[in-house]
A = this chain, B = another copy of it.
Amino acid sequence: MNSPLKPGKVWLVGVGPGSPDLVTVRAVRALAAADVWLVDDLVAPEMSCYARPGTHVEWVGKRGGRCSVTQARIQQLTLQHALAGRTVARVKGGDPLLFGRGGEEAAFLRAHGVPVEVVNGISSGMAAAQALGVALTHRAHCHGVTFVTGHTSEHGSPDWEALVRGGTTLVIYMGMSRLAAIRDGLLAAGMRPDMPAAVVMHAGGAEQRSWTGTVQALAEALAAGMASPAVVLVGGVVAEAMALPSELPSAVPAVP
């Protein structure tokens, strides 16, 4: 047991894209070991199946959720629980180290003497590739993949010209609110208008839906009902998806 003099450990736990069975064994154990969960809004409610009875669960999402808590406030909350000697699970969708603010939260807690450990998770971009039935890298199409955010106020606008010239598959997070601007940026950077593109909404989750087309037609995904949270994929690899029926994650057989 922790005494109030000894800060509790904080687990920055990535619980993946939404489906409870896409959580790692390490994450399941960390979630079950926690006294307190501080949960981001986009985390699927189903994840609560991993909470120990009596766990104090608080939703602290910033993005149009039940409540709207600032990043600073979330960090303060986490620190307060840890300094009170509680084991805290800071529960995040995807992977805390990829657009998850995990680095900032870990640095803040360490600066206050709180032990922190990150548990990786499956990022929605990987789940989007799985949903489309394509790989993000393919020797025939590219030599790599770039994950960027289209959400300017958070990370600044990507250098589309450099990214297009780099020739990697592009996976764009938080881009649905500026899909037309992303299309224009890519075309102005010299990307061929018929470059295959896809949008996967709720990737890896129960309500998963996908749209496939081209960069030129990207904004049509909105008319097709695609909305946040969604991931945009752009690149030759996406063409492989066109040949397939769109695949929803099927039931996994239970252990015999």
Residues of chain A at the chain B interface (Cβ within 8 Å): 16, 19-26, 28-30, 32-33, 52, 95-104, 106-107, 110, 117-123, 126-127, 129-130, 133-139, 142-149, 154-159, 162-163, 165-168, 204, 237, 240, 244, 247, 249-250, 252-256
| B97 with A136: CB separation less than 8 A | yes
Q: Is the CB of A29 within 8 A of B98?
A: no
Query: Given the complex, which residues of B lie within 8 Å of A167, measured CB to CB?
Result: 159, 162
Q: Are A24 and B26 within 8 A (Cβ)?
A: no
Q: Are A252 and B33 in contact (CB under 8 A)?
A: yes
Please name all residues of chain B whose beta carbon is closer than 8 Å to the beta carbon of A240 when the two chains form the complex. 103, 107
A253 to B87, CA, bound (A): 11
> Could you list some 24 contacts between A and B, CB below 8 A?
A16-B24, A19-B26, A21-B29, A24-B25, A24-B122, A25-B28, A29-B255, A96-B135, A97-B129, A97-B136, A100-B135, A103-B134, A103-B135, A118-B133, A120-B126, A121-B122, A142-B155, A144-B146, A144-B147, A145-B147, A158-B166, A162-B162, A162-B165, A162-B166
Q: Which residue of B lies closest to A151 (CB)?
A: B143
Closest Cβ–Cβ distance, residue A152 to chain B (whole Å)? 9
Query: Could you say how many copies of this chain the assembly holds?
Result: 2
* Extra contacts besides A33-B256, A123-B126 (4): CB < 8 Å: A23-B25, A99-B137, A119-B130, A120-B122
B23 touches A97 (CB 8 A): no
